[in-house]
Amino acid sequence: MAKVYFISGIDTGIGKTYTTGYLARQWNEQGISTITQKLVQTGNIEISEDIEIHRQIMGTDLLEVDLEKLTMPEIFSYPASPHLATEIDGREIDFSKINQATEQLKEKYQVVLLEGAGGLMVPLTRNLLTLDYIEQQKFPVILVSSGRLGSINHTLLSLEALKHRCIELYALAYNLNDESQDEIISKDTAMYLKNYLSCHFPQAQWIDIPCLSDH
């Protein structure tokens, strides 16, 4: 049965899109049929730029499922949090449309990597957080972090939120492609977070996300 992993991050701009494309490329190369999907795209019209970036990293053009909008079912024009972007465009998120698209992708692929917008607590509507949606759907999470200064705090807060909701952490993806990292801080942060995972999330995987040019 196909698996859906929800890709979230500890903050905006932490590297969710790069990580999603990288993992899809890696898993496809390993023979695991993998597709990416964007939960809600803001700041675009017609085509999701995040899906385009995924495909560039994966080394493909837009796929048939992209042209059918299964991978980008909800796009809003204003570059803001989904709860605001939807209000500016004057229409609500159609969650049944998103869920149906995910189910159709599950019929075609072994793995769906569903990328969220921003972090776990980003509001999708005035009354629904991203974390609420993940909990409702029971998706395991791949949480993207990095070694930038401040990421320990943001990562632990995100992990506590997952634990509080009893949401499975499948993996912590450590984005080494983050140019804002100090090497000394990054190495110590990785060591600290690996130890934290082993104590509090022993079933979770640790995934290093290097630059593609380094791989």
Residue 39 has pLDDT above 80, yes or no: yes
What is the structure's pLDDT at 180?
76
Which pLDDT tens digit goes with each residue over 75-106? Answer: 999 999 999 999 999 999 999 999 999 999 99
| Domains delineated in the chain | 3-214 (3.40.50.300)
> pTM for this structure?
0.96
Return d(Cα 149, Cα 189) in angstroms, integer: 9
140 close to 168: Cβ distance less than 8 angstroms: yes
What is the structure's pLDDT at 127?
98
What is the structure's pLDDT at 151?
96
Instruction: Tell me the binding residues for ATP.
Output: 13-18, 50, 115-118
Instruction: Tell me the binding residues for Mg(2+).
Output: 17, 50, 115
Return d(Cα 55, Cα 24) in angstroms, integer: 9
Residue 214 has pLDDT above 80, yes or no: no
The average pLDDT across 118-130 equals: 97
- Tokens 């494309």 belong to 21
Percent of the chain with pLDDT over 90: 94
The average pLDDT across 1-25 equals: 96
Return d(Cα 159, Cα 107) in angstroms, integer: 31
Residue 212 has pLDDT above 90, yes or no: no
Using 50, 70 and 90 to split pLDDT, how confident is the model at 137?
very high
Residue 139 has pLDDT above 60, yes or no: yes
Instruction: Report the catalytic residues.
Output: 38
